[in-house]
Amino acid sequence: MKKIRCPYFELNDLERTYHDKEWGTPCRNDRKLFEYLMYEVLQCGLSWDTIIQKRAAFRVAFERFDFEKIARYGERDIARILAVPGMIRSRRKIEAIIHDAQCFIALRRECGTFSKWLWAFTDGKTLHNPDNAKSDEWTAPARTELSDRIAAELKARGFKFLGSVTIYAFMQSVGLVNDHARFCFRYKELRQGDGAK
């Protein structure tokens, strides 16, 4: 039987696999959270499909998003990253990722883990888009009051390239919010996974 998915993820096999196994699944691992957050930095001005096609190159370029290593990158590392086949050739984005790794470490030093800081915004629970629960249409906002708050706090801590719209996309990807369409098979799986009715 064919799986019914959110229509946005039907472009190709990579998109479908990402949707089925990752998008919206609650993540509490700091390294993975950093990786997903940096995908939003890399995506600025580009399509998600471009990012998903280049994820393997990004993981090579940024040493599987080891934020401790990235925070120490210098000019030689930037030159190396720019030379990785398939890499987005934006020095500004690479420099932002290095800077954001330093901010990420500072936040962890203060709060224990980034995960603890992030999930405190929702009391540790996934928020479920109420519009998706009420209809068979697929609706998802570009930003919310919560993404405004998280983006503002990150900006105050020095993070770059992370506005409210990119933070909302991050919230969707790491399961802070479940924006799967009600007709999507993942919507029900994620609702059951956190005990929601």
Catalytic residues: 18, 40, 48
Q: How far is CA 192 from the centre of its chain?
A: 22
Determine contact, residues 104/34, Cβ cutoff 8 Å: yes
Residues paired with 127 in a beta bridge = 177
Q: What is the three-class DSSP state of 178?
A: strand
| Helix spans in the chain (H) | 13-21, 30-43, 48-53, 55-61, 67-70, 75-83, 91-111, 114-119, 130-134, 145-156, 164-173, 185-193
Alpha-carbon span 133 to 145, nearest angstrom: 19
Q: How far is CA 70 from the centre of its chain?
A: 18
Please, which residues have CB within 8 angstroms of residue 114's CB and are 6 or more apart in sequence?
A: 30, 33, 34, 104, 107, 108
- What is the token pair recorded at 55? 């994820």
Alpha-carbon span 23 to 37, nearest angstrom: 13
